[in-house]
Amino acid sequence: MNDIIGKKLEKIRINKVLPFIKGKLLDIGCGNNGLKDTYGNGIGVDVYDWGNVDLIVKDTSKIPLKTQSVDTITIIAALNHIPNRGEVIYECQRLLCNDGKLIITMIPPIISTVWHFLRKPWDVDQSERGMKEGEVYGMTSKQIIELAKESGFKLKKVSSFMFAINKLYVFEKNKIS
């Protein structure tokens, strides 16, 4: 049951972000790397070994890639699981090319709290890895937008999906001359 639900949710999220991806992709918090595998051009990075991760790092605010080496960075349903999320968003600014995009999806805290509570007995994310200090159950739109703006991103699009439970945020890197 959990595998079926998880795969359906992943497919919905992937289909929502695919139209906004261009060039070389970096998917932070990639999980099983479904987005990168579907898109076909990029690298998936995570702090946890889900079995199909391209690059496992201790800290996603220190990704060993060259400055301005990717065109699109995605953080799909994972930003709330990154305790040092401000540093990670700043690292996205370093890694993105000047016309690059940062794409984030997230559910709000109340829905996330209920969702994780209901899934807890069979949720691999919670039973194997567990919630770590600094992680939160979802984030508000205001929190996500402010975090990205503090790191020099401009909001280009916000839209809801999955019965308005999830939100998609597309940010553009401020160009550096």
- Give domain limits for the chain: 2-155
pLDDT of residue 113: 63
* pLDDT given at position 72: 98
Q: If phi over 0 gives left and psi between -120 and 50 gives alpha, with beta otherwise, what is residue 71?
A: alpha
Tokens of 21: 């991806």
Kindly state the average pLDDT of the residues 29-51: 95
Percent of the chain at pLDDT > 90 equals: 68
User: What pLDDT sits at residue 177?
Assistant: 43
Encode pLDDT of 82-92 as tens digits: 989 999 999 99
**Burial category of 55 from C-beta neighbours within 10 Å (exposed 0-12, middle 13-18, buried 19 and up):** middle
pTM exceeds 0.75, yes or no: yes
- Tell me: pLDDT of 47 over 60: yes
Q: Is the pLDDT score of 30 beyond 80?
A: yes
The per-residue pLDDT for 34 is: 95
Q: For 10-36, what is the mean pLDDT?
A: 96
Q: Given this model, what pLDDT does residue 118 score?
A: 64
Class in CATH terms, 2-155: alpha beta
Res 140: pLDDT: 92
Is residue 40 exposed (0-12), middle (13-18) or buried (19+ Cβ within 10 Å)?
A: exposed
Does the pLDDT at position 51 exceed 70? yes
Residues 21-25, mean pLDDT to the nearest whole number: 98
DSSP 20: G
pLDDT of residue 152: 93
Q: Give the per-residue pLDDT at 1.
A: 39
Query: pLDDT tens digit string along 99-150?
Result: 999 999 998 877 766 666 666 654 555 444 556 677 777 899 999 999 999 9
Share of the chain above pLDDT 70, in %: 85
